[in-house]
């Protein structure tokens, strides 16, 4: 049974997917990809403080203001032939960034480039692991009190 947190998150996801026409990837698909032989390159586009508190393992922090030329200069050789997954708290900021970077990703011959549906909040709410500099953690940054209502507490 879904709680209020999940219903709020689901509503936010619907708005994001109607507003941003980027391709979205479900959390179970990401989990399978991460367990595979060619895991995707993950980009966490939240603030440095959010990233330090917790992130999906292997994620690289990318400033949400990054433009296409800077992205290619920083990651052009790494993204060629790779699946790319961008995420933030729920998918709003990462969808906005991905819209700006789609052309750069395509020109750099990335295999695919998608936004994580529901972001780290959905990932976390499903009981999937998040890490900080010390390893596994149950902490997650709620971004602000309103968005934080979408995060399920862990027992």
**Number of other CB atoms surrounding residue 142 within 10 Å:** 15
Q: First vs last Cα of the chain: how many Å apart?
A: 17
Return d(Cα 47, Cα 30) in angstroms, integer: 22
- Per-residue pLDDT band for 132 (boundaries 50, 70, 90) equals very high
pLDDT per residue over 25-79, tens digit each? 999 999 999 999 999 999 999 999 999 999 999 999 999 999 999 999 999 999 9
CA–CA separation, 27 and 119 (whole Å): 8
Q: Which CATH class is domain 4-148?
A: alpha beta
H or E stretch covering 113: strand 112-116
pLDDT digits (tens, 9 = 90+) for 10-29: 999 999 999 998 999 999 99
């Amino acid at each position: 049974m879904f709680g209020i947190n999940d219903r709020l998150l689901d509503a936010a996801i619907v708005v994001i997917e109607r507003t941003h026409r980027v391709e979205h990837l479900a959390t179970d698909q990401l989990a399978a990809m991460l367990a595979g032989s060619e895991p995707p390159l993950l980009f966490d586009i939240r603030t440095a403080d959010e990233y330090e508190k917790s992130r999906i393992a292997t994620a690289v922090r990318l400033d949400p203001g990054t433009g296409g030329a800077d992205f290619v200069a920083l990651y052009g050789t790494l993204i060629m032939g790779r699946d790319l997954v961008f995420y933030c708290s729920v998918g709003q900021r990462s969808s906005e960034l991905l819209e700006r970077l789609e052309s750069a990703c395509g020109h750099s011959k990335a295999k695919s480039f998608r936004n994580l549906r529901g972001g780290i909040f959905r990932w976390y709410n499903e009981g999937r692991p998040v890490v900080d500099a010390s390893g596994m953690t149950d902490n997650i940054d709620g971004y602000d009190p309103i968005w934080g209502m979408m995060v399920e507490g862990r027992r």
